[in-house]
Structure 1
Amino acid sequence: MEYDAIILGGGAAGLYCAMHAGRRGKRVLVLERGEKVGKKILISGGGRCNFTNRHTRPEAYLSSNRHFAKSALARHTAQDFIDLVDRHGIAWHEKTLGQLFCDGSARQIVAMLVEECEAAGVKIATGQDVETVEHSDGRYSITSATRTDTAPALVIATGGPSIPKMGASDFAYRLARQFGLKIVEPRPALVPLTLGGEDVLFRDLSGISADVAATANKTTFREAALFTHRGLSGPAILQVSSYWRNGDGVTVDFFPDEKPGWLVAHKHEAPRTAFMSVLRERLPERLAGTLAERLEIAGELGSQTDKALRQAEARLAAWHFMPNGSEGYAKAEVTAGGIACGELSSQTMEARAVPGLYAIGEAVDVTGWLGGYNFQWAWSSGWAAAQAI
């Protein structure tokens, strides 16, 4: 069969690109390896799909080219996607930090995208494990076990290798290399970190969370951190994990609202207050106990020198953890790195040196923060490519 565009990958970016290209009168085919489209959409946001973020902005994305995402994000915004959701009558709500979720189910987003594709005349073929991709005479020929299709435009929308149990793989990178495109080394992002060595003690706090400010490589996020049986997780840790590299430390401020001198001031105001009681006022008891034990401070505040309390303040404000790794692609929400932005036009997402070849979504070296940013990149980049096909 001949089409105007073939899109590899029936995830968020692929389906969105297909519907917009179809609306423009293009004959579009989506080839999806799995038996169903939108698998990662369905598990996102606890099954309610955190489909965008009101505060979407270029600064919320990691990339080897910090300017690359600006064009697509500016031309197709979070409000554009919200308007589509509203037209389909999908109820939604806003949680913290601009995160938007379906009131009902992520299935509503998948159904909306499929319905839009059908209305635009898009053909979706599932269960298609691509065997070969060839390019000659200005056309791409895609062969799977059951079919061969051709088109002058080919869109790589197969994502990265995060969450392999959902069918994720490095196919996008292999295909990009086939056409001579450079790859920024991929790595797990938005992923729990593991602890070893002296930090193993904190694994005993599995299930305990606290509101903290976590920092990695000079980038700080103020959200909850969660101790697990393997190490550290929770929104604050997932956020900084995208900036963390093997061999780096992570610092956690357990009292982000306190200013230097707060423990000394507390001592002068209530010297008979136990140090543990002060920690317990703000932290879960088991966490407070572990921190007090590591600080080797016991008894009343009045029995401590001001110097000792200032040292405790400093340690609590920048508690140093040395992760020995992460939980890898199996638990990573997204993949950082990918097809190098320098290979692509930021306006159209087309490869500069390979006419008709496009890359969108997670396959590209653009990675958003936790909280709907990666979905918005899928929508914006998919829309940008659709306008150029």
Structure 2
Amino acid sequence: MQTYDAIVLGGGAAGLMCAAVAGQRGRRVIVLERAAEVGKKILISGGGRCNFTNLNTAPDRYLSANPHFAKSALSRYTARDFLALVEAHGIAWHEKTLGQLFCDGSARQIVAMLLAECAKAAAAGGTVEVRSGEEIGKVSHDGSEYRVMTSSGAFAAPALVIATGGPSIPKMGASDFAYRLARHFGLKVVEPRPALVPLTLGGEDVLFRDLSGVSAEVVARCGKAAFREAALFTHRGLSGPAILQVSSYWHPGEAIGIDFLPNAAGGWLLEAKRANSRGTVRSVLADALPDRLAATLAERIALAGDLGNMPDKALHSAEARLADWRFHPNGSEGFAKAEVTVGGIVTAELSSKTMEARRVPGLYAIGEAVDVTGWLGGYNFQWAWASAVAAGTALAET
């Protein structure tokens, strides 16, 4: 039996960051990763360049049954804090859009940075041992220490950190292990569902699949949530940043609304009629949208002929429909294509300051395993860093 101060289950963003923080504060930590290498989700993120944080991070950009839970960790370790770490390691970066920060080079630089931070523990009298290819078996607690059996041996520590993420992208080795382990220790779990995921279309909407490959900047809405970004039609339905964003808020049976012309002022079709009475709805739409999309929308609106021959009331109705075109998704592409998971370990079970379970001393949960899910664009990485720092700091104080 090998003994440590803390065992971290999961060698992803949150797990490595937590281990580095605790190790640099003198703690002896072991990270156990099931996959053959650590940081696999980091490596594929941002097209291989890792969208490692977002400058616009704020608690209102996270979904949770308790919208206030994330405030503490996010305020104590900010996007600027992580950016300072990136710069300290000489990693070049750039801002794309909407506050999204990416590596100029490769996502491997972020993984290397995290491992380098873990290695720094030695200078502070701590240790961080990182083991990959470790299949986790039995996990138990005897009241004083946690014991973890793996394919290579047994490990014990007074503290255990659940950092194994959610079930999104199972081909990367993702699973519901975190939730099963949480339930084993008596913690409640908000039923997980796919988030930041493409939506599928059926019924009358299936005709839009013919537009596969066509994209346009739109405003997508679901309930009170609205996002202005690109939407992409696919052979199965809808994708693109705007759709991925609203998918986190969408529930089966609900409609989503699309404003295809977010720049258009009220009365734009009437203005077009006055400017060119011989124009058509399709020709006007084609000035602002891809031709195939303009043709499909005009056909569905069923206003053929010259604008000059159309009643103003009909044009008003067309404007209204184009500003809030209703799609009724029949599902999503599931965890296989979801970037993250909504749901997870109930936040009421955890301290927002330390991420420790209130009723199970020494048990911590961080990152995607917890019921905190960010918007698209680096927000989920920032939650991973912030929650990890909170737990890692607490581990060093016990």
Q: TM-score, normalised by structure 2?
A: 0.97
Are 1:380 and 2:386 matched, yes or no? yes
Counterpart for residue 8 of structure 2: 7
Extract unaligned runs of 5+ from structure 2.
122-126
Match status 1:233 vs 2:254: no
3-state SS, counterpart of residue 122 of structure 1 = strand
Q: 2:278 aligns with which of 262, 269, 272?
A: 272
Aligned to 2:211: 205
Give the Å deviation of 1:276: 1.4
1:112 equivalenced with 2:118 (yes/no): no
What is the CA distance between 1:217 and its match in structure 2? Answer: 1.7
1:92 aligns with 2:98: no
**RMSD value, Cα:** 0.7
Q: Pick from 216, 224, 230 the counterpart of residue 218 of structure 1.
A: 224
Name the aligned partner's letter for residue 314 of structure 1: A
Shift, 1:179, TM fit: 0.5
Which residue of structure 2 aligns with residue 143 of structure 1? 149
Q: Does 1:336 align with 2:342?
A: yes
Provide, for residues 302-331 of structure 1, a one-character-per-residue CA deviation record: whole Å limited to 9, x for no partner.
111101100100110000000000000000
1:245 aligns to 2:283 (yes or no): no
Output the amino acid matched with 1:77. Answer: T
Q: Which residue of 1 aligns with 2:309?
A: 303
Secondary structure of the residue aligned to 2:263 is coil
Q: Distance in 1 between matches of 2:266 and 2:316?
A: 8
Structure-2 separation of matches of 1:9 and 1:191: 23
Show the counterpart of 1:37: 38
Question: Does the alignment pair 1:261 with 2:262?
Answer: no
Q: Which runs of 4+ in 1 moved over 4 A?
A: none
User: Which residue identity lines up with residue 185 of structure 2 in the other structure?
Assistant: F
Residue 27 of structure 1 corresponds to: 28
How many residue pairs were aligned? 389
Aligned mates of 1:7, 1:14 — CA distance in 2: 6
What's the offset of the Cα at 1:148? 0.5
- Cα distance in structure 2, aligned partners of 1:99 and 1:48: 12
**Which AA in structure 2 matches 1:122?**
V
Hey, what's the Cα distance between the residues in 2 that align with 1:112 and 1:312? 54
Q: Of 315, 318, 326, which residue of structure 1 is paired with 2:332?
A: 326
Q: Distance in 1 between matches of 2:269 and 2:238?
A: 26
Q: Which amino acid aligns with 1:131?
A: G
User: Could you say which residue in structure 2 is the equivalent of 1:125?
Assistant: 131
**In structure 1, distance between residues paired with 2:66 and 2:55:** 23
CA distance in 2, matches of 1:358, 1:104: 33
2-structure distance, mates of 1:146, 1:254: 56
3-state secondary structure, aligned to 1:293: helix
For 1:199-220, what per-residue CA distance to the aligned partner results, in whole angstroms no more than 9, with x for missing partners?
0100000000000000012211
Deviation string 1:107-150 (CA, Å, 9 cap, x unpaired) is: 10011111111221310011111111110131001111211011
Q: Distance in 2 between matches of 1:96 and 1:31?
A: 35
Any unmatched runs of 5+ in structure 1?
none
Among 163, 170, 185, the alignment partner of 1:164 is 170
Counterpart for residue 370 of structure 2: 364
Equivalent residue number for residue 69 of structure 1: 70
Partner of 1:188: 194
Which residue number corresponds to residue 356 of structure 2? 350
Q: Which amino acid aligns with 1:2?
A: T
Identity of aligned residues (%): 70
1:46 aligns with 2:47: yes
**Whole-angstrom CA distance in 2 between matches of 1:216 and 1:375:** 24
